[in-house]
Structure 1
Amino acid sequence: MYKLFVTDADGSLLNSNSEISDKNKEAIKEVISRGVIFTIATGRMFSSILPYAHELNINAPVISYNGALIKDIYTKKVYYYSPIQTEDAIFAIRLLKESGYHINLYIDDELYVEEITDRVEWYLSFNNVTVNAVGNLEEFLKKTGSVTAKIYALNDIKNPISIDAEIYDEISKRLTISSSGGGHLEINAKGVSKGNALKTLANMYSIKREQVVAIGDNLNDLSMIEYAGLGIAMGNAPDIVKIKADYTTLSNDEDGVAHVIDKFFLNKKTVAV
C-alpha cells in the first residue's frame, strides 16, 4: 500500500499553461481524503510554488529548490535547508558567466539577478516572485556573504547549447548539477537532490521507501524517481527518464498525475500507457 505520493510541478502536475487541470485536482483531493500524504517536489522557489500548494490543500511540507528546502506551507516551519555557501556560489557564477549563462540566485526566497534581461522576463512570465537587480553578483555576494538556495543558470532561450564538459566537471567537484530542460542548469549544494529530500520527508513520517510514489518529467527528477518504491515518468519526459522509471504515465497535458492516482491508488480501470 502506497502512503506517500510526491509529484514534480512544471511538466508534471502543471500543464503547458502552468495550470493544474480539474481532473488532477479532483484525483489529488480524493487521494488525500483516503489518508495518503501528498506534496510537491519542485525546482521552483517556495514562494512560487505556494499558490499551487494551497490550491490543492496539500497535507505535507513542500520540497522546493530541487530539494534544498523542505518547508511547511501553513506554519512556515523549515524542516531542512541546505544552501550553497558564498565561496562555492562565486566559484560557479564565474565559470557559468564565462560560458554565456544568465544567473539567477535565490536568497531568503527572493530572486537576485545582475540586471533585467529577456531571460529574466521569460522566467518571471511563469513565476510571480520578487526580483532584485543588484549588478555584479560576485561582488554582491562578496559584500553580503549571502548563501543561496540554488543557482539557476539560464541558457540561450531560443538556441540552447550544452555546457562545456570541463566546466561541468569543475563545478561538479564542489556542487550538484542537474537540468530542468531547455538547456538550463539547476545547481545546488553538494548532496542536495529531490531524491534525498524525499528520503528525508519519508523518514519524517516513518514511511518505508517501497511505500513511496514519485513522478517527474526531467533530469532533476531522476533522483526521486529512482528513490521511490514506484518511480514514474511523465509521457512528455525524455527517454532517459522513462528508462529509469518503473512506469510511464500520460503527458502533463493529458492529466498524467490523475492517471497515476486512478491506477495505483484508487484502483480504477485505466488505459495502459
Structure 2
Amino acid sequence: MIYRLLAINIDGTLLQSNGRLHKSTREAIEYVQQKGIYVTLITSRSFPSAKKVAKALKLDSKIVTHSGAFVASDSDKPVLVRRIQEEITFEVVRLLEKFNCQIRIVDDKFSIANVSKLTHNLLAKTVFQSGDPLYYAQQYVDSISETLIDNPVSPPKLEVYFNDKEDLHDAKKALSGMFTEVQLHDVNNYRIDIVPQGVSKLNGLLYLGELMGISRQQMVVIGDSFDDQEMIEEVGLGVAMGNAPNHIKQAADWVTRSNNQHGVAYMVKEHFRKQQPIEFLRKMNIIK
C-alpha cells in the first residue's frame, strides 16, 4: 500500500513527556514531507495550542483539533466547525457542577474553566498541556453556569477532569442518559471530552481526507490515547506508541518506541524510507 497522509497525535506521541519536540522528530517530519506525504496533527487540544506545535514543525497543512470538531490551517478560515448549542452547553455544565471536577469550555479562541483544586498529578499535567496561556485566552470563574447566563457560549468542545474514577463513571452515566446532542470521549482514566454528536478524531480525519482526495486506506495514524484507538483501527496503517495502554497497542498494526524514545521518528524513518516520493509515483502512473 502507498500511503499519502500521516496524522500524528500531539501529547504522549509527538511530544516527549517534558512537553518538548526532539530534534529527531522534527527531522523525521521534514523527511516525510520531502517525499510528498501530507502531514497533519490530530489532537484533542484547542486550535491555537495545536497550531503552535504545527509552526514548530513548519507545517502549514490543515490540522484536526478539538477532538475532530475544528479543522483548519487558519483559525479564521476553518474548513470544518462543529459546535455544541448554547442551551445544551449550559445544561451540561449545570449537571457537571454537581460533581467534583474541573470543567473547561474550550472554544477556538478562548477557554473558561471553574476554579478547582486538582489533587491528581496526572490530572494537573493534562490540564497544563491542553491550554497555552501565551497563545490562548483563559478565564477562571467560580461558577461556569452563572457566567453562561450572561455570556452564552457555543463551543466545539468541553473538557472535564476528575479526581476520582467513580465520579467520572457516574458523570458519564448521567450525561449519556440526559443528552443525545453530545458525544463523550474517554481521553484517559481521569478525563472525558464532550463534543457535538457525531464528532470524533476519526470523522475529522476522514473529512480532511475527502478534501484532499485521500482514502482512509492511504492514511497512517500514530497515537497513544484512548480517543486514538478508533483511528488506529480504521486507517490503512495504525501505529501505537510504546507508551500507549495495552489495548491501544493490541488494536494497532504496528507498535513503535515510546515518546521519550523518539517513537515517531523511528516509525517514520523505518517505514517511509521504503516508499518512493509521491511525485515519482505519479510520473510512473502508479498513483493519480
For residue 89 of structure 1, what is the aligned residue in structure 2?
89
After TM superposition, the score normalised by the length of structure 2 is 0.84
Judged with a 3 Å threshold, the aligned counterparts in structure 2 of structure 1 residues 48 and 106 are, in CA distance, closer, same or farther, namely: same
AA in 2 matched with 1:229: G
**Partner secondary structure for residue 133 of structure 1:** strand
Q: Residue 271 of structure 1 corresponds to which residue in structure 2?
A: none
Question: Could you tell me which residue of structure 2 aligns to residue 237 of structure 1?
Answer: 244
Determine what percentage of the aligned residue pairs are the same residue.
28
> Aligned pair count?
265
CA distance in 1, matches of 2:145, 2:228: 29
Contact 1:232 1:245 in 2 (8 A): yes
The equivalent of 2:132 in structure 1 is 128
SS in 1 for 2:12: coil
Aligned residue type for 1:225? I
Cα distance in structure 2, aligned partners of 1:249 and 1:122: 24
What pairs with 1:114-193 in structure 2 (closer than 5 Å)?
114-115=114-115, 117-118=117-118, 125-126=128-129, 127-129=131-133, 130-156=137-163, 160-161=165-166, 162-164=168-170, 166-170=173-177, 173-193=180-200
Whole-angstrom CA distance in 1 between matches of 2:178 and 2:25: 38
Q: Deviations over 1:236-267 (max 9, x none)?
A: 11122122222211111111111221122113
**CA root-mean-square deviation:** 2.2
Distance 2:107 2:269 in 1: 39
8 Å contact kept, 1:2–1:211: yes
Q: Which structure's CA Rg is the greater one?
A: 2
Q: Quick one: which amino acid aligns to residue 200 of structure 1?
A: Y
In 2, the alpha carbon distance for the partners of 1:265 and 1:172 equals: 44
Counterpart of 2:59 in structure 1 is 58
In structure 1, the residue matched to 2:42 is 41
Q: SS of the residue aligned with 1:145?
A: coil
TM-score (normalised: structure 1): 0.89
Gaps of 5+ in 1: 269-273
User: Which whole-Å CA distance do the structure 1 matches of 2:107 and 2:24 have between them?
Assistant: 35
Instruction: Summarize the Cα distance change of 1:247–1:135 in structure 2 as closer, same or farther, 3 Å threshold.
Output: same
What 5-or-longer segments of structure 2 have no aligned partner? 276-288
- Residue 7 of structure 2 is aligned to residue 3 of structure 1: no
1:33-52, Cα deviation, whole Å (9 max, x unpaired): 11110010111111112221
Shift of 1:160: 4.5
Shift of 1:121: 7.0
AA of the residue aligned to 2:214: I
- Structure 1, 223-232 or 208-217: larger mean CA deviation: 223-232
- 1:262 aligned to 2:269? yes
The separation in 2 between residues aligned to 1:151 and 1:229, in whole angstroms, is 30
| Paired residues for 1:21-36 under 5 Å | 21-36=22-37
Aligned pair in 2 of structure 1 residues 32, 70: CA closer, same or farther (>3 Å)?
Answer: same
Q: Deviations over 1:199-224 (max 9, x none)?
A: 01111110121110011111111222
Partner of 2:14: 13
SS of corresponding position for 2:259: coil
